[in-house]
Chains A and B, each alone.
Chain A
Amino acid sequence: MKKLLNTLYVTTEGARLRKEGENIVAEVDDTERGRVPLHMLGAVVVFGAIAISPPLVGALARAGITLVLLDRQGRFEARVEGPVSGNVLLRRAQYRASEQPDEIVRSIVTAKIANQRVVLQRALRDHGAEMSADHRTAVESTIDRMERILRRIAFTNEGADAMRGAEGEAANGYFAVFDSLLRSPDPDIRFNGRSRRPPRDPVNALLSFLYTLLTHDCRSAAECVGLDPAVGFLHRDRPGRPSLALDLMEEFRPVLADRLALSLINRRQLRSGDFETRDGGAVLLTEAGRKTVLTAWQERKKEERRHPFLDEMAPYGLVPYLQAQLLARHLRGDLDAYPPWFWR
């Protein structure tokens, strides 16, 4: 199986990265802080003001190691990619399929809603007893509502637009009860509905940060199998938007991001001190908070589970790649549908 390569995250502002032999060397104030052989890396992600030497940028591109520049808060800024090895026939098939996206959208949306629903079911099973009766009832009725939405789109021939609507409806219900899944005694760590630009509470700050990491992995996965990350099925084309990466990501969001966010908060690995509020009310992770999240993220990616369609064990971190590969095989005509990733 393809090796799960590491991602090097550099978060220390003022750090300098340079190439020495076949290694990346990280320096802070002219002192070496770390050294990683290039062949162990799949990507380098840097946050904020970090200097990168031109020879290193070239070496990364040649070795097929993606370099991603994010701002201090983790918002995407730029990406350096070597020559694209893309497969023109696959891309043509992708573009053709994007004109008739219904069945691929059905796979993505049903798996996303099913996975969100399992997140709620698990929370209820594991901690339902500690929830207030009101909260428990709310979560239960959301699970039922999501089941109805799933039935409506899973076995019918609803078109892509109707499924986009259903997806939004399910997401509203899901996020409406998400706060009930938080078990931190800290009154500041709450979720007040999804807010994106900017996140307005710690949980939104955490979710946004995890979604950024996941987008990056999904985009790399798409590129790795030769798909065009900009042309999606569920997400419509928009200049600069990695629509396919966002599509791939939908199935994983509830499991790889939402559940990780819940466990970081509920296990009190993140506390209110790991967040800061800026003027204007934007809430962001502190540098220490980001480190905690990145470490947990890397650990989670190593955990193995049985892949439902391939029926073999695979680490979570490889699942975006495997799904991109299965999508490519569907587009090339090997599979009669895109088999999405159902989490059990």
Chain B
Amino acid sequence: MTPAADLDDPLPISALQHAVYCLRQAALIHIERVWAENRFTAEGRVLHDVAHEAGSRKSRGARRVTALQLASLRLNISGIADVVEFHRGPDGETAFPIEYKRGKPKLHRADEVQLCAQALCLEEMTARPVPEGALFYGETKRRLIVPFDAELRRLTEDTVRAFGALVASGRTPPAVWKASRCRSCSLIELCRPQAMAKSALDFRRRALVAALAPEAAANGSSP
């Protein structure tokens, strides 16, 4: 999770979900680290709670590996998968990543991108195709199968590139207020997309003009 370090530092896979949602959010968390602590401890705990989903897959003879370290040299990403099942087939084992999420399935594709990035790592590591994986949502207790189609793969690779460029630049993109996205953003208090759209120079000028206006003293309200 080293932010904005050497280019050879692999990008954290867990950052991609933030990068899909909003590049500024990803920068605030992973480059500026304004919120890293709370967020990651909270997520770590949730993970712990749910990583023991009933092993229905076991009956089908899948090998289940938890907390598996993943990396892709091609994409320069790395991370840890909650669970990877290895399903036995006629020509060997096929990896099947499962990611545990609190909450419920979302309208945006952030969780799918994170999972797909894991699949891309697994393909590189096992040299075998990984056609699908699953997201398990704590709130609905549902397992959602995610096929890694061409479109999702493209979105994932584009996100990796965009986030990589961001980390290399060390810059945080400007805030762009978008109600549907910002209202449910947990970083809104730190990002302040609406205030950041204002000019502080104008504000200072106006405030001083008001302070120097002769009637300013008479109209103020008492604290």
Of listed A333, A335, A338, residue having the most chain B CB within 10 A: A335
Q: How far is the CA of A90 from the CA of B171 in the complex (A)?
A: 10
The residues of A that contact B200 with a CB separation of less than 8 Å are 107, 309, 326, 330, 335-339
User: Would you give 30 A-B contacts (Cβ < 8 Å), ordered by A?
Assistant: A85-B36, A89-B3, A90-B32, A110-B204, A110-B208, A114-B207, A114-B208, A121-B217, A121-B220, A150-B211, A154-B208, A155-B205, A259-B223, A305-B223, A308-B203, A308-B207, A309-B203, A310-B192, A334-B172, A334-B175, A335-B196, A335-B199, A335-B200, A336-B199, A337-B199, A337-B204, A342-B207, A342-B208, A342-B211, A344-B216
A310 contacts across to B, CB distance below 8 A: 192, 195
Q: Knowing A122-B220, A334-B174 touch, does A147 contact B195 (C-beta < 8 A)? A: no
A89 and B208 form a contact (CB under 8 A): no
Check if B33 is an interface residue, CB within 8 A of chain A: yes
Residue of B nearest to A316 (CB): B223
Which residue on B lies nearest to A303, using beta carbons? Answer: B223
Q: Which residues of A lie under 8 Å from residue B190 when comparing CB positions?
A: 325
**What CA separation (Å) do A336 and B202 show in the bound complex?**
9
Asked whether A333 lies within 8 Å of B220 as measured between CB atoms, the reply is no
If A107-B204, A110-B204, A309-B203 touch, does A85 touch B172 (CB 8 Å cutoff)?
no
Residues of B within 8 A of A259 (CB): 223
* A118 adjacent to B211 (CB under 8 Å): yes
Interface residues of B in 205-223 (CB under 8 A from A): 205, 207-208, 210-212, 216-218, 220-223
- How many chain B residues sit at the interface, stated as a range, is 35 or more
From A85, A330, A336, B37 is in contact (CB under 8 Å) with: A85
A42 to chain B, nearest CB (A): 15
* A340/B204 in contact, CB under 8 A: yes
* Known A114-B208, A155-B208, A334-B172; 16 more pairs at CB < 8 Å: A89-B3, A110-B204, A114-B207, A117-B211, A121-B220, A122-B220, A124-B217, A147-B212, A151-B212, A308-B203, A309-B195, A309-B200, A325-B190, A333-B172, A342-B211, A344-B210
In the assembled complex, the Cα of A145 lies from the Cα of B218 at a distance in Å of 18
Cα distance, A7 to B187, chains bound together (Å): 25
Contacts of B34 in A (CB 8 A): 87, 225-226
Whether the Cβ atoms of A85 and B212 lie closer than 8 Å is: no
Give B156-210 interface residues, CB cut-off 8 Å to A. Answer: 170-172, 174-175, 189-190, 192, 195-196, 198-201, 203-205, 207-208, 210
Q: Which of under 10, 10 to 19, 20 to 34, or 35 or more describes the interface residues of A?
A: 35 or more
Interface presence of A278 (CB below 8 A): no
Q: Is A238 an interface residue (CB 8 A)?
A: no
Q: Across the interface, which residues of A come within 8 angstroms of B192, CB to CB? A: 310, 325, 329
Per a CB cutoff under 8 Å, which of B198, B199, B211 touches A114?
B211
The yes or no answer to A78 lying at the interface (CB within 8 A) is: no
**Nearest-neighbor residue (CB-CB) of A106 within chain B:** B204
Contacts of B195 in A (CB 8 A): 309-311, 326
Query: Measured between alpha carbons, how far is A73 from B205 in the docked complex, in Å?
Result: 41
- Residues of chain A within 8 A (CB-CB) of B117 are none
Give bound CA distance, A305 to B192, whole Å: 18
User: With A89-B4, A303-B223 given, is the CB distance from A329 to B208 under 8 Å?
Assistant: no
Residues A309 and B212 in contact, CB atoms below 8 Å apart = no
Cβ–Cβ < 8 Å partners of A122 in chain B: 217, 220, 222
Check if B196 sits within 8 Å of A339, measured CB to CB: no
Q: A310-B192, A335-B196 in contact; A118/B217 too (CB < 8 A)?
A: yes
- In this complex, the member of B37, B189, B192 whose beta carbon has the largest number of chain A beta carbons within 10 angstroms is B192
A332 at the interface (CB under 8 A from B): yes
Chain B residues whose CB sits within 8 angstroms of the CB of A334 once the complex forms: 172, 174-175, 196
Q: Which residues of B contact A111 (CB under 8 A)?
A: 207
List residues 1-39 of chain B with CB under 8 A from any CB of chain A: 3-4, 31-34, 36-37
CB-nearest residue of chain A to B219 = A344
A197, CB-defined interface residue at 8 Å: no
Is the Cβ of B32 less than 8 Å from the Cβ of A339?
no
Residues on the B chain within 8 Å of A1, using CB: 189
Question: Which residues of A in the span 81-96 have a Cβ within 8 Å of any Cβ on B?
Answer: 85, 87, 89-90
- Tell me the nearest residue of chain B to A341, going by C-beta: B207
Using Cβ atoms and an 8 Å threshold, which residues of chain A touch B3?
Answer: 89
When the two chains form the complex, which single residue of B33, B199, B218 contacts A87, counting CB atoms closer than 8 Å? B33
Q: Which residues of A lie under 8 Å from residue B175 when comparing CB positions?
A: 334
What residues on B are CB-neighbors of A107 within 8 Å?
200, 204
Contact with B along A62-89 (1 / 0, CB 8 A): 0000000000000000000000010101
